[in-house]
């Protein structure tokens, strides 16, 4: 289970450290792809395989489903973590997410998300004001 948010910097060789707590769960092979809302998704290989199967089964009928599947499948790339637990972020993904120097790595239960620090803080502020009453939402979930 991935939890928490961490800040790292991408070095000039496009290497990005993964939080030590995430490393055992991710394993040595993981998949990096375009995510929603201008961030990147990072999955353990097994989780990715399940998701990819679901995505390719999404039927060709709807244009938006096709677009979504293309976004994630076409942009996917397997990444090997080096001895220090870092992954290499390819140019086209770095550009997609607008990653500058400072980057936020966030754990979201079954996946890891990678955001540019600025984009992340803007998104959080926006969401906090829109989501409104957290207590109400939690009650809907039966907590």
Q: What angle do CA 7, 87, 82 make, to 5 degrees?
A: 120
Residue 60 binds DNA, judged by CB under 7 A = no
Verify binding: residue 12, DNA, rule CB under 7 A.
yes
Cβ at position 19, least distance to DNA in Å: 6
107 forms part of the interface with DNA (CB under 7 A):
no
Nearest to 38 by CA among 130, 103, 131: 103
Q: Is 20 near a second copy (CB under 8 A)?
A: no
Q: Please report whether residue 11 would count as binding a second copy according to CB under 8 A.
A: no
Quote the least distance from Cβ 111 to a second copy, whole Å. Answer: 9
| Torsional sign, CA 115, 117, 119, 125 | positive
Residues 17 and 111 sit within 8 Å (Cβ to Cβ)? no
Q: Tell me which of 2, 8, 43, 115 binds DNA, using CB under 7 A.
A: 8
Tell me which DSSP letter residue 84 carries: T
């Amino acid at each position: 289970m991935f939890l928490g948010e961490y800040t790292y910097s991408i070095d000039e060789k496009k290497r990005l450290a993964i939080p030590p707590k995430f490393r055992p769960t991710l394993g040595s092979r993981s998949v990096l792809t375009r995510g929603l809302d201008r961030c990147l998704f990072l999955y353990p290989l097994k989780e990715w395989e399940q998701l990819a199967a679901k995505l390719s089964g999404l039927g060709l009928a709807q244009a938006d489903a096709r677009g979504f599947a293309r976004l994630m499948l076409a942009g996917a790339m397997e990444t090997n973590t080096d001895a220090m637990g870092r992954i290499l972020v390819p140019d086209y993904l770095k550009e997609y997410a607008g990653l500058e120097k400072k980057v936020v790595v966030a754990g979201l239960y079954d996946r890891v998300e990678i955001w540019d620090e600025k984009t992340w803080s803007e998104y959080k502020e926006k969401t906090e004001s829109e989501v409104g009453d957290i207590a109400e939402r939690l009650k809907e979930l039966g907590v």
